[in-house]
Chain A
Amino acid sequence: MADLPKDTDILVIGAGIAGLCSALYLARAGRTVAVVERGEPWGDASGANAGTLSLQVKRPEVLHITRRAIELWQDFKADFGIDVGFGRPGGLRVATNAREVDMLRHSQAEQRTLGIEVEWLDGNRLRDTAPWLGPTVLAATWCDWDSYSSPLQAGRALIDGARRDGVAVIGGAAVTAIAKETKGYRVTTALGVIACNTLVIAAGAWSGEVAAILGVTLPVSADVNMLSVTEPAPHLIDKVVTHIGGILSLKQYPNGTCLIGGGWQGQGGLASGRKEIDHEQLMHNFRVAIGVVPALANLRLVRSWSGFEGVAADALPLFGPLPGRPAAYVNACARGGYSQGPALGLLMAELISAGRTSLPMERFYPARFAS
């Protein structure tokens, strides 16, 4: 276990996808970075999520961030020697009734105006593309950007990669106090005190708590997303599958296991720390999944679990300077933050190093919530 340094140029709070990617690109820009994490690095939302990197399911506001992120996910191996278990089979976003078909048409048109092309598939073309789809699927849009990575593999690789690039990644270092110094901050953690010039809050669902230590209110709450994995099976589902209603994410990994999610909510919350399976919601999740891919009915369920996902009041990323707190930034709570993570990390490195970003990010600044 690494020791907590006495000081660092940049201190990132949170060793999930946002924190580690911020650290990685800041280190690449020549900065000295430490990442402190309250629990195990990668131990919360990033480690518990579905690993889906779908472009076409994203809100219009974050489409370009996500596209950039998928490029970066793809390049992790070449850029950093980091194997995140990336695959880019492309994805199908399905509609199963007339209302959903309308929604899908509308979404396709909207994405086109933003310069993102997805292809409409129905009838025989849809069946030829994905013969494993069930009869309830009336149409789908095809997006060749849609990808996946393995959260387990990615976590291990990103932590190792960050450390190789000189980043101190330290678990079990919950932040209890932050004091403003003449230059930078003095941060007290469970493992001791660390001084820094610049602070990045990347604590996901807990970012509200951390910002509160600095006296800043961030409107953050947590979803309790449930996920399930099946036993390994012969390869069948050769694309990432999502749903226009936002109620399904599905893919089959190279090891043959199928991962089933879709944002169905478990029970619990941040305050209690509980994240339990909600039986009813889980059953709904399976029914939707089997409706879309009937062959799933023959597979055995091995494990269901749930994880917190931090979400801002408007479900958009919290990215940018913390209002009224110089040299303090937030990078957290992007809905679908796992897929956007590398881009948000790169953009944070740009913002801190150069004071500007290669994509327009002002609309995501936490100042939008300042009353």
Chain B
Amino acid sequence: MIDTDLAIIGAGAAGLAAATEAVEHGLTVTIADDNPRAGGQYFRQPPLPFRRNGQSWFDKEATRANALFDVLGHPKVTHIPDAVVWNLPEPNVLAVAAGDRSTRVRAGAIVVATGAHDRPVPFPGWTLPGVITAGGAQNLLKGNRMVPGRRIVVAGNGPLLFVVGASLVRAGVDVAAIVEAAPVNARLTAALPGLLAAPKLLRQAIDYRWTLLRAGVPVRTGMTAVAAHGEENVNAVSIAPIDGEGRIDRNRIERVDCDALVVGFGLTPSVELMRLIGCDLDFHPARGGWLPRRSTGFETSVPGVFAAGDGAAIGGVEIALLEGRLAALEAAVRLGRARDASVRRAALTHKLARIDRFRRAIERLFAAPCHYLDLLADDTVVCRCEEVTAGELKMRGREAWTSMVQLKSTTRLAMGRCQGRNCMATLASLVAQSMGEPIAKLAYPRTRPPARPIALGDLLHEPIAPPELPADPHLPRGQKVT
């Protein structure tokens, strides 16, 4: 058992910023992260023994990243890499599965900074080899300096498409097209004032766009991928325009040849642990879906549990860095350890407000222009673990459209090893559509441990007292009625 003032889950931008802030207030910190090396997605490091050389375009953030990593060497910080926080044996105790380093962490306060994953949007052909998510493509590039193909289409919705597209160009890939569903050009004028609130970020965005322009990459806005084609690997993508009412015009389909398709329909916060903790969540599609309800101090509905960064609401790295700081500051206040909190809080909050204006402008620019369920065909696989197609779902779920819980047990959807990460959003959309209710009103199926799959063998290393066994195996066991 590790006793710590502040437990942080996730060593990405928000988690590292929280740790940095926490040690400045003298807190002991335990930071658990599921990657072998800290950095999360944005500051992803190559696997050991590789090092950033600080030279290439991909290392342009090396200075800022290394400054953040410094906190892991601080004497008050314990970093548990390759770790999954999978359960809460007690409200303030985390069970950490990390091979033979598995342990429990008793914390005065908790900052959840679990980051986000790609929002899965099923469409015909999305399970073909050669189709990869935008986040996955970025990981390959940053973590392994690999590219998923030679001639690549990048399609979907959201600013990440432009980031990935530019990165692929820098890596020497022939980017066949960027296919962005939102009519961003038409929305640009209205968004400009907000974008100017954060000139540095705007410059960065222009840099991405410029990289694409210089490389002659066609940027097709107001269009969506409707199908990926191929036998053993994707070899072409069909794209179609979306009209002003959000209808996909299938009479004007174009086909683009490629050997890889990068799809990104935005990110969704990884809130499984917060569901397990019992934090209240609200549905905000613009910020990625289900989000923890937070106070102005980033505290969730569970006292002492804070949430920061993309794991709480999609906002990008700059917001994550500030929220991480602020959440740790509030935690320090809560623990009675922060001096001069108000000055510090005001400075951080001021910066955050500015970037938040930029963030809102980006959100308006990229607001989803169509309903993604319209992309489904009957033979489209919705649940990859249990191989349930949309058609099967409609047929088998006919009687069960009244609740997600019932549909889940009827179809086995979300019961596989992805624990619903790849299908729950689609399931929720389908049930909501069929019931004529907003997704926000649906009862979400209960989240059970583990928060992420863990090897059973890891658990042998967590020290526990021997069990008290019943003398007669057939008699009712001792009741623990609480």
Residues of chain A touching chain B, judged by Cβ–Cβ distance below 8 Å, are 1, 40, 42, 47, 59, 152, 155-156, 221-224, 229-232, 243-247, 263, 265, 267-272, 274, 277-284, 286-287, 289-290, 296-305, 311, 313, 315, 335
Q: Kindly supply a per-residue 1/0 record for chain B positions 440-482, scoring 1 wherever the CB is within 8 Å of any chain A CB and 0 otherwise.
A: 0000000011100111110110101101011001111111111
Q: Is residue B395 within 8 Å, beta carbon to beta carbon, of the partner chain?
A: no
Query: Hey, which chain B residues are within 8 Å of A283, CB to CB?
Result: 459, 462, 464
Query: A154: shortest Cβ distance to chain B, in Å?
Result: 12
- State in angstroms the CA–CA spacing of A229 and B412 once bound together: 13
Smallest CB gap from B417: residue in A: A231
Known: A47-B409, A303-B415. A272 touches B481 (CB 8 A): yes
Contact flag A271-B453 (CB < 8 Å), given A246-B474, A280-B464, A304-B448: no
Q: Nearest chain A CB to B80's CB is how many angstroms away?
A: 18
In the complex, 29 of the A-B residue pairs with CB atoms within 8 angstroms, ordered by the A residue number, are: A1-B399, A40-B403, A40-B405, A40-B406, A221-B476, A221-B479, A222-B479, A231-B417, A245-B473, A263-B473, A265-B477, A269-B479, A269-B480, A271-B481, A274-B482, A280-B464, A280-B465, A280-B467, A283-B464, A286-B459, A301-B450, A301-B453, A301-B454, A301-B455, A301-B456, A302-B419, A303-B449, A305-B448, A315-B474
Q: Knowing A283-B462, A283-B464 touch, does A297 contact B456 (C-beta < 8 A)?
A: yes
Q: Does B281 contact A (CB under 8 A)?
A: no
A243 to B457, CA, bound (A): 20
What's the tally of chain B residues with a CB closer than 8 Å to chain A? 44
Please classify the interface of chain A as helix (H, G, I), strand (E, B), loop, or mixed, using the class held by over half of its residues.
mixed
- In angstroms, Cα B387 to Cα A232, docked, is 13
* Assembly CA distance A294 to B464 (angstroms): 19
Q: Binding site of B, secondary structure by majority: helix, strand, loop or mixed?
A: loop
- The one of B402, B456, B465 in contact with A300, judged by C-beta atoms closer than 8 angstroms, is B456
Query: Does B410 make an interface contact (CB < 8 A)?
Result: yes
- Distance, CA A272 to CA B456, complexed state (A): 30
**Which residues of the other chain, A, contact B454 by a CB distance below 8 angstroms?**
300-301
17 additional contacts (CB under 8 A) given A280-B465, A286-B459, A299-B456: A40-B409, A42-B409, A47-B409, A152-B409, A221-B476, A231-B416, A243-B473, A269-B480, A270-B481, A280-B464, A297-B456, A300-B453, A300-B454, A302-B416, A303-B449, A304-B450, A315-B476
- In the bound complex, do residue B456 and residue A223 qualify as a contact, i.e. CB atoms below 8 Å apart? no
Q: Please give the distance in Å from B367's CB to the nearest CB on chain A.
A: 35
Chain B neighbourhood of A230, CB < 8 A: 456
Residue contact A279 to B453, C-beta cutoff 8 Å: no
Question: Which residue of B is nearest A312, CB measured?
Answer: B476
**Which residue of chain B has the shortest Cβ distance to A260 in the bound complex?**
B456
Q: How far does the alpha carbon of A278 sit from the alpha carbon of B405 in the complex, in Å? A: 23
In the assembled complex, the Cα of A40 lies from the Cα of B405 at a distance in Å of 10
Interface centre among B87, B459, B474 (most CB of A within 10 A): B474
Assuming the contacts A245-B469, A269-B481, A280-B89, asked whether A297 and B476 have C-beta atoms less than 8 A apart, the reply is no
The answer to whether A287 touches B455, judged by C-beta atoms less than 8 angstroms apart, is: no
Contact of B482 among A152, A223, A272 (CB under 8 A): A272
Give chain A residues whose Cβ lies under 8 Å from the Cβ of B475.
315
Write out the residue numbers on chain A whose beta carbons fall within 8 Å of the beta carbon of B480.
224, 265, 267-269, 278
Residue of B nearest to A262 (CB): B473
Contacts of B327 on A, CB cut-off 8 Å? none
Nearest-CB residue, chain A, relative to B418: A302
Q: Report the bound CA distance from A294 to B347 in whole Å.
A: 55
Nearest opposing residue in chain A for B475, CB measure:
A315
Residues in B neighbouring A274, C-beta threshold 8 A: 482
- Tell whether, in the assembled complex, residue A277 and residue B455 are in contact, meaning their CB atoms are under 8 Å apart: no
* B95 proximal to A (CB < 8 A): yes
Complex CA gap A233/B475 in Å reads: 34
Whether the pair B417, A300 counts as a contact (CB closer than 8 A) is yes
Q: Identify which of B402, B410, B456, B459 gathers the most chain A CB atoms within 10 Å of its CB.
A: B456
Which A residues are in CB contact (< 8 Å) with B403?
40
Residue among B455, B457, B476 having the largest count of chain A Cβ atoms under 10 Å:
B476
Question: Is B95's CB under 8 angstroms from A279's CB?
Answer: yes
Contact B479 A284, beta carbon cutoff 8 Å: no
A301-B450, A315-B475 known; A279 and B89 CB under 8 Å? yes
Q: How far is the CA of A279 from the CA of B403 in the complex (A)?
A: 29
A297 CB contact (under 8 Å) in B457, B469, B477: B457
CB neighbours (8 Å) of A152 from chain B are 409, 412
Smallest CB separation, B411 vs chain A (Å)? 10
Q: Which of A1, A280, A303 has the most CB of B within 10 A?
A: A303
State which of B416, B459, B477, B482 has its C-beta within 8 Å of the C-beta of A263.
B477
Residues of B within 8 A of A280 (CB): 89, 464-465, 467
Which A-B residue pairs are the 8 nearest by beta carbons?
Answer: A246-B473, A297-B457, A269-B481, A279-B89, A300-B453, A284-B467, A231-B417, A311-B476
**B464 partner residues in chain A, CB cutoff 8 A:** 280, 283-284
Q: How far is the CB of A253 from chain B (nearest CB, A)?
A: 12
Q: Mark B83-96, 1 if CB is under 8 A from A, else 0.
A: 00011111000010
Q: How far is the CB of A45 from chain B (nearest CB, A)?
A: 14
Are the CB atoms of B449 and A277 closer together than 8 Å?
yes
Q: Which residues of B contact A269 (CB under 8 A)?
A: 479-482
> Do A286 and B474 have beta carbons less than 8 Å apart?
no
B453 adjacent to A246 (CB under 8 Å) = no
Shortest beta-carbon distance, A260 to chain B, in Å?
8
Closest to B414 in A: A303
Q: Residue of A at shortest CB range from B405?
A: A40
Roughly how many angstroms separate A303 CA and B87 CA in the complex, as a whole number? 11
B165 CB → nearest A CB, Å: 34
Q: How far is the CB of A255 from chain B (nearest CB, A)?
A: 8
